[in-house]
Structure 1
Amino acid sequence: MTASLSLAESRLNGSASTNTLPTIQPIQVRDRVHPEAHMLFWQYRGAATIIASGKPIGLCAKQALWLPAGVHHDIEVDADSVLLRIFFGAKHLAIAPEMASPHIFHVDQELAGNLMGLVQSGDSLLQSSRGLDQYVLDQLSMQLRTLPWPESPAAKEIAQMLNDDPGDPRTLHQLAASVHASPRTIERAFLTETDETFQEWRMQSRIARAKQLIADGLAIDAVALRVGYSTASAFGRAFKKRTGLSPSGYFNEHVENYSRN
């Protein structure tokens, strides 16, 4: 079952006859945890901060934060902000390995419509959430497997090269030269068109491919070489820094568990 709750409750300042919008006071909720349900915090308006396992995560409008079941969190909603939370029953819904840790998502028009359907189904009898909750989870996990790509031709060509071969050893300067562009142009294109620096995009691409290869059962040494690391230990450090788990830990805790469900 899915439910929703607006964490920002309005309080009127002044008389009801004014034409100004009511002021929504800031709200703080401390030490929350939901062992039986995953949660999606949808920042519908304004801004908020979710402190998940001691780590502050800022949200602005058109963003949503996924928290898997059992994560302790605090909630701080700014003034004049509306934060919606949507529950996903952990016992009845399957989540992909990518969804086993917190993630921020961009809420586009299609996702917003689906989330509003879940909000409505939790608050009224007008719409059933039958199948929609699992569909939303599948769409979110698909987003995690797909990096945003640059649109500029030169930067897009480089992204394709790295997608085809994440272990490509060439530097930014060498890759830029191969498409007859300056490194500065490529770096700017990645930053403005994907919201990631070139190096960060490259790292995320490598980690995403590594997750796929680990799920396919490839040996860790082979995965390391495939995604551009000369040693399994260097790959393991990079993988753990990005995911919080060692490559073998990722397989044991997520891939195996997900395959059993």
Structure 2
Amino acid sequence: MSRTGHDLGHDPRHDLNFGPHTRPTTAIFVGDFAMPRGRAFRTHVHPVHQLAWAARGLLRVRAEQGTWMLPPSLALWIPAGLPHATEAEGDTVMRSPYVDPTHCPAERVWTEPTVLEVGPLPRALIDHLVRDDLTQEARARAEAVLLDVLRPVPVATVSVTEPSDPRALRVARALADAPADGRTLEEWGGEVGASARTLARLFTAETGLAFGQWRKRLRIRSAMPLLAEGLPVESVARRVGYASASSFVAAFHRIVGLTPRQYFPVREERE
């Protein structure tokens, strides 16, 4: 059970209604969840806005609009009523502010899932709002500042759709287990019983991406948990199939919108 009393086995879709556990004028309630690797909340909705943030570890959030991998430097604004699922990609502490729409300034509401920067000030404010000994006035001041300093960052989703055809699916899952595998579609075809042309058509039709583009996205997604653990970029690049750190960094920036070190700051605080 977390410090705030939320049982991780409980499906959160039925709570967070800003009932008796908060003061009537409270804009933000911070849920504090210890999430070991693989712990997940299946698809659910909240009647309030959520700022999905991991104080430690790596959090994956999935919605119809995409999939986001969130280190402590980033959070995802999830509008009230939007179905989503969360999962820990490693030992994670999710410290998630939930924002009452009736107390949120209109200019601070994003209607779509939006990645926000969590620098030292937002992080300190979230940690401050976890406390249950704040006066109503102190809490209101901290809530107002937190909402004021939230800033979007241009980060793309890292969704990787699996094909449904059994032959293409075998290839996709083998590559998910070993992203550095560099075999061509011709070589894969001999293993799964399909021509390279057939596999290429299946990947394009069923994932929306050509095979080469699909594999690049898979490699970037596979790299994120390794980067979150603090492994050197050069080592991560080799593990996911890149010949050099520079080619990996270029691919990461092209797909995600930030460099690996912008996404996973080296000096990030650890708890």
Q: Normalising by structure 2, what TM-score?
A: 0.44
Q: Normalising by structure 1, what TM-score?
A: 0.46
